[in-house]
């Protein structure tokens, strides 16, 4: 017999969290980290108790977007995440900093389990998870370990991106996992193909975020990010779709 | 870790209909460099009612790695790491892939063959 005791702790660690939003995509490079960061900032700025958990363990980016700097967790019968821009923020970068983390599937599963078991989030209205791309280990572990997770899916207008997103959506729908909606990021043309595809599946189309050439300049500055066209679009969508005031 | 062990042992006891647990056999992997005495003390402080009389037998599991690139196997010792790396591996053992390399070929692609985490091997007790 080999029983992993961490699993029993996870439910306890998450019980104070009202909603968990996993920002996901089948494809990399569609803007998940930017959407996660802007969504979490929006929620925190509305006075909601919010956490942001970067689960893209091999390619974390949210710390760069937010300019997390040297903020470090504290140890207190577990790990208490630092508060960054009003968010409780957890990432593997607190431990490996800017070094490479080459992790195989079993290692990724262990990191998910370990951090879920030790992180003390306390009471939160929202925990936003910046997910890695694809439908492999981390997504499967979130589905297994965080039963209350709702998925917000990000795509671009690219047919290549949406083909992988479609697979993720189909999987989530097949499993009966709540899908909050789909955001079409980096919109440049006028095609409504993504909207039709999304609504055709009975899902909520959160909207289009126009390609914003100024977005790159806001990386590292949370305030500036939220003043971009991108930031304002995410804020507007979150307010409308999550019913926050 | 201690909290997780107590919680899990209590859940197993309840599931198995044990009114009293007499023995819990735990393996403590060495990768995370957990202080045995601190761990024992934490267990004793956290014991729930059905575990009050339980004896916790804790056996260490040595930290062994195997390189996936060249097959080299070696014993890992956190003493070889600097303080920052030791702390990282303590909280997230997989951080070893960031700080440790195969002593033969230098690869970071290795697996933990022994000594990762804490796990319960068996529980003994009295049924209703």
Q: Topology of domain B2-127, per CATH? A: hypothetical protein PF0899 fold (3.30.2320)
Banded pLDDT at A3 (limits 50, 70, 90): confident
Asked if the model's pLDDT at residue A245 lies above 80, the reply is no
Cβ–Cβ below 8 Å for A6 and B4: yes
Residues of chain A in contact with residue B88, where contact means CB-CB under 8 angstroms, are 95-96
A&B contacts, CB < 8 Å: 80
Q: Residue A223: exposed, middle, or buried by beta-carbon count in 10 A (0-12, 13-18, 19+)? A: exposed
DSSP code for A81: P
A203 confidence band (pLDDT: 50, 70, 90): very high
Among chain B residues, CA nearest to A8: B8
Taking alpha carbons only, the member of A107, A78, A146, A135 closest to residue B98 is A107
State the pLDDT at residue B128.
73
Beta strands A50-54 and A124-130 are parallel
Q: Does B119 touch chain A (CB under 8 A)?
A: yes
Distance CA A57, CA A40 (A): 18
Mutating which of A1, A2, A4, A5 best tests the B interface, going by the most B Cβ atoms within 10 A? A5
Q: Distance from B105 to chain A by nearest Cα, in Å? A: 16
**In terms of CATH, what superfamily is A6-242?**
P-loop containing nucleotide triphosphate hydrolases (3.40.50.300)
Place A1 in a pLDDT band, splitting at 50, 70 and 90: confident
Average pLDDT rounded to a whole number, residues A21-43: 97
Q: Taking CB atoms and an 8 Å cutoff, what residues of chain B touch A2?
A: 119-121
The whole-number pLDDT of residue A169 equals 96
| A104 CB within 8 Å of a chain B CB | yes
Q: What tens digit of pLDDT does each residue of A149-179 get?
A: 999 999 999 999 999 999 999 999 999 999 9
Query: For residue B70, which phi and psi values (nearest 5 degrees)?
Result: -120, -5
Q: Does A140 touch chain B (CB under 8 A)?
A: no
* Å between A157 CA and nearest CA of chain B: 36
pLDDT on residue B50: 86
pLDDT of residue B23: 95
- Judge whether B8 is closer than 8 Å to chain A, CB to CB: yes
Q: Do A6 and B97 touch (CB under 8 A)?
A: no
Contacts of A5 in chain B (CB under 8 A): 1, 4-5, 7-9, 118-120
A contacts of B116 (beta carbons < 8 Å): 110
Q: How far is B110 from chain A (nearest CA, A)?
A: 9
Average pLDDT, chain B: 93
Cα–Cα dist A92/B123, whole Å? 34
Closest-CA distance of chain A to residue B112, Å = 9
Contacts of residue A56, defined as CB under 8 A and 6 or more positions apart, other chains included, come to A32, A33, A62, A130, A131, A132, A133, A138
Residue A116: which H helix or E strand, with range? helix A105-118
Secondary structure letter of residue B43 according to DSSP = H
* Angle CA B125–B120–B88, to nearest 5: 150
CA distances from B95 to A19, A93, A189, B112 (A): 29, 10, 43, 12
Strand partners, A74: A80
Query: CA A65 to CA A163: how far, in whole Å?
Result: 27
Nearest to A111 among B92, B109, B121 (CB): B92
Q: How far is Cα A89 from Cα A62, in angstroms, rounded to an integer?
A: 10
**Residue B98 forms contact with A (CB below 8 Å):** yes
| pLDDT (0 to 100) of residue B74 | 97
A36 pLDDT band, cuts 50/70/90, is: very high
Residue A104's closest chain B neighbor by CA?
A: B109
Q: Which residues contact A144 (CB under 8 A, 6 or more apart)?
A: none
């Amino acid at each position: 017999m080999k029983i992993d005791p961490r699993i029993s702790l996870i439910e306890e660690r998450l019980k104070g969290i009202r909603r968990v939003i996993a920002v996901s995509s089948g494809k990399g490079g569609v803007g998940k980290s930017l959407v996660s960061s802007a969504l979490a900032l929006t929620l925190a700025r509305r006075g909601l108790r919010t956490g942001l958990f970067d689960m893209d363990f091999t390619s974390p980016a949210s710390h760069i977007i937010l300019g997390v700097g040297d903020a470090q967790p504290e140890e207190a019968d577990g790990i208490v995440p630092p508060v960054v821009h009003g968010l409780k923020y957890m990432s593997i970068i607190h431990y490996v900093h800017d070094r490479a983390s080459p992790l195989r599937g079993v290692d990724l599963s262990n990191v998910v389990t370990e951090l879920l078991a030790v992180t003390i989030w306390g009471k939160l209205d929202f925990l936003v998870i910046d997910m890695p791309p694809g439908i492999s280990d981390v997504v499967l572990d979130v589905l297994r370990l965080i039963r209350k997770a709702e998925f917000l899916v990000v795509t671009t207008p690219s047919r290549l991106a949406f083909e992988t997103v479609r697979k993720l959506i189909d999987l989530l729908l097949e499993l009966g996992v709540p899908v909050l909606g789909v955001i079409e990021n980096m919109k440049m043309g006028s095609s409504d193909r993504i909207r039709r595809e999304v609504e055709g599946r009975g899902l909520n189309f959160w909207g289009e975020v126009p390609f914003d050439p100024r977005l790159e300049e806001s990386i590292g500055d949370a305030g500036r990010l939220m003043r971009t066209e991108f930031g304002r679009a995410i804020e507007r969508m979150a307010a409308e779709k999550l019913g926050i005031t | 870790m201690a909290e997780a062990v107590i919680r899990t042992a209590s859940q197993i006891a309840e599931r198995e209909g044990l009114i009293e647990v007499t023995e819990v056999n735990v393996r403590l992997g060495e990768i995370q460099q957990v202080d045995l005495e601190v761990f024992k003390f934490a267990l004793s402080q956290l014991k729930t009612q059905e575990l009050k009389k339980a004896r916790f037998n804790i056996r260490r599991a040595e930290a062994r790695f195997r390189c996936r690139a060249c097959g080299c196997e070696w014993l890992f010792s956190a003493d070889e790491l600097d303080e920052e790396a030791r702390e990282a591996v303590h909280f997230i053992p997989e951080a070893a892939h960031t700080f440790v390399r195969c002593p033969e070929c230098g690869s970071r692609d290795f697996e933990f063959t022994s000594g990762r985490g804490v796990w319960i091997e068996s529980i003994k007790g009295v049924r209703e």
